[in-house]
Structure formats: structure tokens, C-alpha cells
Amino acid sequence: MPLLRQLEFAFRPVAGIADPGRFGAALDAGLTDPDYKDVEQSLNLEQTARDLLRTNGADRIATELRVKWNSRLKTAAGRADYREKLVSLNPRLLDHPTEIDRTLRHELAHILAQFRAGRRRISPHGAEWQRACVDLGIANEKRCHNLPFPAQTYAARFVYRCPNCRQEFPRVRRMRRAVACLVCCRKHNGGDFDSRFRLKLLSSR
């Protein structure tokens, strides 16, 4: 669905970067979020991400970027938050250690693409993101992953509508910030946010 903030992806296996046995043992121990710090340090994911950004001319954001494990991620393998300069990874990836590097690069591509776009709004998996994927060494990347994570479905409790094109946007959670119809913003305002096309709550269940 359009305007989803959660960013999921698909990827192919890459060269192994860690011993699967170690990560399996970590999971068996029932690690909580703070415990993932040791695993994160062993992979040096944050430094890797910062180096990749610097290589692609994003020095400023590289110094602010953080990479964290987030046990609240269930079906998504990762998530990128440009405002917070944060890449979150699903701890279930520890069951698939050969996928961690590609996951990191996929999410990092979202950060790099928005950095290059500046204040201009871009599609989460549009041309800008695809170019960033190429620059980060994961050309032909897909948007949705195919890992065997447990699927969860939730009923859409809120329905929003664009006042211009009348497109409806069902959502599981209430929107806490101003969100406008991306199609209308692109068509009438060069892709920048336009309050004329701010989504309005149509109904809630």
C-alpha cells in the first residue's frame, strides 16, 4: 500500500560474514535487545554502514547513522528511519547470517536515496532507491523479502482519503503526523508535501 513507512525487501544469499552457530546459540539464550550489542559489535555493522555512506558521498549523515537490532520487528527484515538516522534489523536475521549484509545495504539504500533527494519526497522503492541499491552493490534488489518469518495480518481499522483524487488508504494504526497523497503531490507540486492533499480520516472501526 502507498505511503507505508515499514520497508520490507527481498534478497539473494551473499557470501557468509559470520559463523551461523554463534548466532544460533545467541537466539537459544533468549537475548533481549541490550544483549544484541555484542553480536552487533562482532559484525561491526554500524561502521560498515558508515563507510558505505562515505564512499557514496554522504559524509554528513554517515557520522549520525546508527544500526540497531529491534525485536519489535516481526515480519519485516529491516527498517530505515531517515529522520532518526537509524537502520533497524530484525533479530530473526541471526537465523540467516548470510543475509545480514544484504539486509543492511537494502535499508541503507533508503537512507542514501533520501539524503540525495534532500527535502523532496520520493517513493520508498522508486528510481532513487534503485540507484542507491546499485551504488551499494545490490543491483536488481526487490522490495519484499522471502525469508521464512512468521506472517502476521491485521485488520485495517482506519481509512484515510485524499481530498483531491479520492484515493482511499486503509491503515492498521492511526496516523500521528501529517501525510499527503504522494501521487497528487507529484502531479501538482513537484513531489513536495502539499497540505491541499493531506489525507483525511474517513472512518475508524
The 10s digit of each residue's pLDDT in 134-160 is: 999 999 898 877 787 766 666 888 999
Q: For 53-72, what is the mean pLDDT? A: 95
How far does CA 16 lie from the centroid of its chain?
22
User: Can you tell me the distance from the alpha carbon of 205 to that of 158, in angstroms, rounded to the nearest whole number?
Assistant: 7
Q: For 42-66, what is the mean pLDDT? A: 92
What is the per-residue pLDDT for 129? 96
- Residues with Cβ within 8 Å of 59's Cβ and at least 6 positions away in sequence, in order, are 53
What is the per-residue pLDDT for 152? 64
- pLDDT classification of 32: cutoffs 50, 70, 90: very low
Q: For 14-35, what is the mean pLDDT? A: 39
**Are 134 and 54 spatial neighbours (Cβ–Cβ below 8 Å)?**
no
Q: For 83-105, what is the mean pLDDT? A: 92
What is the per-residue pLDDT for 151? 63
User: Can you tell me the distance from the alpha carbon of 30 to that of 32, in angstroms, rounded to the nearest whole number?
Assistant: 7
**Are 170 and 158 spatial neighbours (Cβ–Cβ below 8 Å)?**
yes
User: Can you tell me the distance from the alpha carbon of 154 to that of 161, in angstroms, rounded to the nearest whole number?
Assistant: 20
What are the strands, taking DSSP E only, across the chain?
66-69, 78-81, 86-89, 158-161, 168-171, 200-204
This prediction has a pTM of 0.60
- pLDDT classification of 75: cutoffs 50, 70, 90: confident
Domains, the chain, in order of start with CATH, read 20-135 (3.30.2010.10), 158-204 (no CATH)
Looking at every residue in the chain, the average pLDDT score rounds to: 80
* DSSP 3-state of 99: helix
- The dihedrals phi and psi of 48, each to the nearest 5 degrees, come to -60, -45
Q: What percent of the chain has pLDDT over 90?
A: 55
Whether 15 shows a pLDDT value over 50: the answer reads no
- pLDDT classification of 40: cutoffs 50, 70, 90: low
Neighbours of 190 (CB within 10 A): 10
